[in-house]
Structure 1
Amino acid sequence: MSGKVYLVGAGPGDFRLLTLKGLDCIKEAEVLVYDRLANAEYLKLARPDAELIYVGKASSNHTMTQDEINEVLAVKAKEGKVVTRLKGGDPYVFGRGGEEGEYLLERDIPFEVVPGITSAIGGLCYAGIPITHRDYTPSFHVITGHLKDETKDRINWSALASMQGTLVFLMGLSNLNKICTNLMQNGLAESTPAAVINWATRANQKVATGTLLTIEEEVKKAGLTSPSLIVVGEVVQLRDKLNFFEKRPLFGKNIVVTRSRTQSSDLKAKLQELGANVFEIPTIEIVARQTDEIDETLNRLNDYTYVVFGSQNAVSLFFDRLYALRKDARALSNLKVVAVGSATAKVLEGYGIRSDFMPERFTQESIAELLESKLTNEDKVLMPQGSLARDILSTRLQTICQVEQLLMYDTVLNKNSKALLKEILDEETIDYITFTSSSTANNLMALLDEEYKEKVKTIKCISIGEITSKAMRNLGLEVYKEANPFTIEGLIECLCEA
């Protein structure tokens, strides 16, 4: 039985410019065939058992020929599998989707096309250049930057030069001189505005502007390479006014996030929204404990008067086990609930529980000061936490009443990040590294040999708070800035100020 092929436009590069239907196709795919221009983040959305096949193409460097790609799609579909062909931009805008569709049709293989945002429009938008504007142009034209056979130029340069419309050339950087020369020879003024947009809509987007006469030199100065698109027309003049994308506070900054993968998504999304290019290097891994002691404790919550949650992970894992025991938030109805930090309190609220007390500073010392004025020797405190939690709070409270620590998880070294971390330190210029706990700092340095440790010491390191800062200094890292308050929002504010 034949499967089915989805020809999906992945958009110009920004992760969030994928359509909802495109997202569904990625999640459904048993085979994901993707190219160089599709955002690699989409691969993380695929099924765990999906087969991933890279068929990327760069100029004069093709992983597979188009004929080979066509055959891969057909063979996998004939195996009865759902195949998603993920293509940068739109499949039918110089994406060779039409050829792939014809090939599948000739072999009686069902397929669907899912349109995507083409870089010819979306890329210009993110560069501050509207492809149309009634004060500047009556039309726009999208032209391939190279032909099947470069010796047979089928572009009507005279017609293009006379249109007075916006001209967008895709995949044509190697032919930039030829494009500009032909347009000028056919009547367009040397002073006609022109721009080249490299890696459009991504955090590493770069743009060079000039005129038909000067743009080639401007591209060389800027060091632009493929993939790039070329735009010619009066609308290029609007870039300085409408360039929203590159004016965001963290645009172009390369930032390493060291939280565990399950925790990093919120921080990563916020940094990306502010323009940063974010590298996830989860130096820690949260491993839940599943012990009889945990279940026994949760079955006798009425024995306690207070429960103090030391982290977001402690909250999530506590309720996971509570639900597994067929209990819910009502089991805490007779307890005072305390969260160490606003982020932990927010996770608690997701389970329908509000923290009864909240200190001004989010440290164990501040929680201790707060509770010391409220506890009596008749109280009994339960503290769900991780194995690396500091003992300051429990030690101080034990002088007043009975305190029981409940270890919900272990924080371990994520060795899988070592190769990626070293690759990034070798190939990228990192502007900032963020540390959200002592363990993220300790583990990052534990992953590296001396050569790479010295590299890290030259990078600006941002700390979430004073305890993390102390650990960083003990490792020989300079704390460039420390968040105040000690929250993710405070950390982000530090980066924006920096």
Structure 2
Amino acid sequence: MTSSRAFVSLIGAGPGDPGLLTLRGQAALAAADVVLFDYLANPELLRHAPQAQTIYVGKKGFSEYISQEQINALIVSEAQKNGGQRVARLKGGDVFVFGRGSEEAQACVDVGIPFEIVPGISSAIAAPAYAGIPVTHRGDARSFAVLTGNTQEGSAHYERLSGVDTLVLLMGVRNLGTIASDLIKAGRHPGTPAATIQWGTTPQQRVVSGTLSSIAEEVEKAGLEAPAVTVVGEVARLRDQLKWFESPAELGHPLLGKQVAVTRTRDGSSALADLLRSKGANVLEVPLIRFEASSAPQEVRARLRDLSGVDWLLLSSNQAVSALFAHLDELGLDARALCGVKLGAVGPSTARSLEEHGLKADFMPSTPGAKHLGTELPAKAGETVLHLTSQLAEAELQDALEARGLTYQRGELYRTVPAVPSENELERLKAADVVTLASGSAARHLAQLAGTHFKVAAMGPQTADAARALGFEQVRVASTASLEALVEAAAELAGGLIEEPQA
């Protein structure tokens, strides 16, 4: 018997650009307990389902990792687990346009699982649009047809398409020569304009133009492979006038075609990722660290109840600020509990986090970083400094303060532990052109997981120094402690500008 909670959303993921996911698709992902995604569904979309279990069911051409029948069975079994689960099946393009979504829907019908269809933008229209090719155009094309180029689907009957102005071929790269020949035999003129778009709508987009008689040879010469869409018709001539997506760096896309990994926490903000995407980057948001509750919450809360004798309270991360106020809330206290204590922030980002809670930092070093905070803090010898942080406190801060005759104390607000990326995330991470790092902890976990061969854009000199100490040689520091500056550093690295390692 199927639980009343079991539900399946068959979601069209769109053609590749994560911004083309529909709002309904985003809402369905956010509600999912389990997400099954395939080869053509951009993994970036999984950020809309941070709480869900993710299962890769990728299929690529004729090299299937899992059969369609197995996928159907998996959708059903996952929906029936744990008394009923919400399953999101994320499919490249549109669910019903050569996506075999109808078979997955039928599998739900067979066992009585309710489902919904969330249409997606098909690559049949999106890939040509991003290449500057409209599938219809006044005077040139009043009709278009979408065909599968997979010869396993049976006879194409191209002679029936004689009155269709524009033909759009999906899954046809492998058989493009045969398809072109058959179209010519069916009456299409050999000189009909044609274009093939690989990885349309993504930073990896590549386009080759030709004629019906030459397009297969041009595609082979250029090395284009699946996934690709081929357009045959007079509208293909318009690409020279209307192409817009393959913009050069000077037009605002300095990261076009580059994969940038954002090593955030599981619940971290995607604001950096959004900025990178606006510059053309293909972004992988992968958690390398996660935060856990303090191992000794009673101790730190006892210290927060009574801050007498503390002259300075130091915070060295945004998470420290968040955790501090979470502990205060547990105690039934608020910002007034910090009255009489001076606040030191490690940098502008931490200072902004304090301001969001109605507090202004009394001090922030001229250069962000624990070492600078320790050396520049305007405290007098003999004063007591309480550093609220994780179990991985910066030794540089303690050393600098104690060298000045200050009394250093530490409170563990939270714990920083490694996060383990999925196999798919790890594979994509290893292929990244640039990795952004916001902390020394993230640098350590990156080195342990995937090595130190990466180009690294670091948020601040302390993170950069930690990365270099671990063996990363290609490091660039953001000019200021801002997301915009970090994006600029990533773009400079992607362009081959490498900062010389510091002695």
Residue of structure 2 aligned with 1:344, choices 313, 338, 350: 350
2:120 aligned residue: 116
Residues 202-257 of structure 1: per-residue CA shift (max 9 Å, x gap): 34333323332332222223322222211223443444543236542112223344
Compute the displacement of 1:379 (Å): 6.3
State the match for 2:12 in structure 1: 9
Note the C-alpha offset of 1:421. 8.8
Question: Deviations 1:64-117 (Å, cap 9, x if unpaired)?
Answer: 554555555556667773444332221222223334445655665543222111
Q: One-letter code of the match for 1:129?
A: I
Does 2:181 align with 1:181?
Answer: yes
1:60 counterpart residue number: 62
Q: Are the structure 2 counterparts of residues 418 and 118 from structure 1 closer, same or farther at C-alpha, using a change threshold of 3 Å?
A: closer
Cα RMSD (Å) of the superposition?
3.8
Corresponding letter in the other structure for 1:346: R
TM-score by structure 1 length?
Answer: 0.81
Query: TM-score, normalization: structure 2?
Result: 0.80
User: Does 1:484 find its partner at 2:497?
Assistant: no
Of the three residues 431, 434, 438, the one matched with 1:436 is 438
Query: 1:467 & 1:85 partners in 2: Cα distance?
Result: 42
8 Å Cα contact 2:159/2:186 also seen in 1: no
Flag the 1:333–1:131 CA change in 2: closer, same or farther, 3 A.
farther
Shift of residue 53 of structure 1? 5.6
Q: 1:213 to 1:257 in 2, by over 3 A?
A: same
- When structure 1 is superposed on structure 2, of 4-13 and 167-176 the one drifting more is 4-13
Give matches, 1:197-216, under 5 Å. 197-216=197-216
Alignment CA distance shift 1:32-1:259 (3 Å): closer
Q: 1:85 to 1:125 in 2, by over 3 A?
A: same
> 1:296: how far off?
1.2
Q: 1:136 to 1:329 in 2, by over 3 A?
A: farther
The range that moved more, 361-370 or 477-486, is: 361-370
Cα distance in 2 between the residues matched to 1:47 and 1:234: 45
SS at match of 1:250: coil
**Letter of the 1:205 counterpart:** Q
Confirm or deny: 8 A CA contact 1:306 1:335 kept in the other structure: yes
Alignment of 1:116-155 (within 5 A): 116-134=120-138, 136-146=140-150, 149-150=153-154, 152-155=155-158
| Number of the residue aligned with 2:321 | 315
Q: How far apart are the structure 2 equivalents of 1:259 and 1:106?
A: 42
Distance in structure 1 (CA, Å) of the matches to 2:468 and 2:8: 54
Maintained 8 Å contact 1:28/1:47: no
Measured at CA, do residues 331 and 113 of structure 1 come closer, stay the same or move farther in structure 2, by a change above 3 Å? same
1:242 corresponding residue in structure 2: 243
Q: Does 1:495 align with 2:501?
A: no
Alpha-carbon spacing, 1:403–1:76, altered in 2? closer, same or farther (3 Å):
closer
Matched, 1:26 2:32: no
- In structure 1, the gaps of 5 or more residues are none
Q: Does the CA-based 8 Å contact 2:312-2:344 persist in structure 1?
A: yes
1:276: which partner in 2?
281
User: Is the Cα contact below 8 Å between 1:129 and 1:243 reproduced in 2?
Assistant: no
CA distance, structure 2, for counterparts of residue 91 and residue 149 of structure 1? 18
User: CA 1:444–1:74 in 2, change beyond 3 Å: closer, same or farther?
Assistant: closer
CA shift for structure 1 position 263: 4.2
For the residue of structure 1 that corresponds to 2:314, the secondary structure is: strand
CA contact (8 A) 2:39 2:57 kept: yes
Question: Structure 2, unaligned stretches of length 5 or more?
Answer: 496-503
- Give the alignment partner of residue 89 of structure 2, picking from 81, 85, 91: 85
What per-residue deviation string (whole Å, max 9, x for no partner) do you get for residues 443-466 of structure 1? 443456xxx55xx1xx53434333
Does residue 300 of structure 1 match 2:317?
Answer: no
Correspondent of 1:95 among 95, 99, 103:
99
Q: Identity percentage over the alignment?
A: 39
Residues 110-148 of structure 1: per-residue CA shift (max 9 Å, x gap) = 432221111112233333433344475333332222366
Q: Please point out which of 258, 263, 267 is paired with 1:253.
A: 258
1:408 corresponding residue in structure 2:
413
The residue aligned with 2:394 is: 389
SS in 2 for 1:323: helix
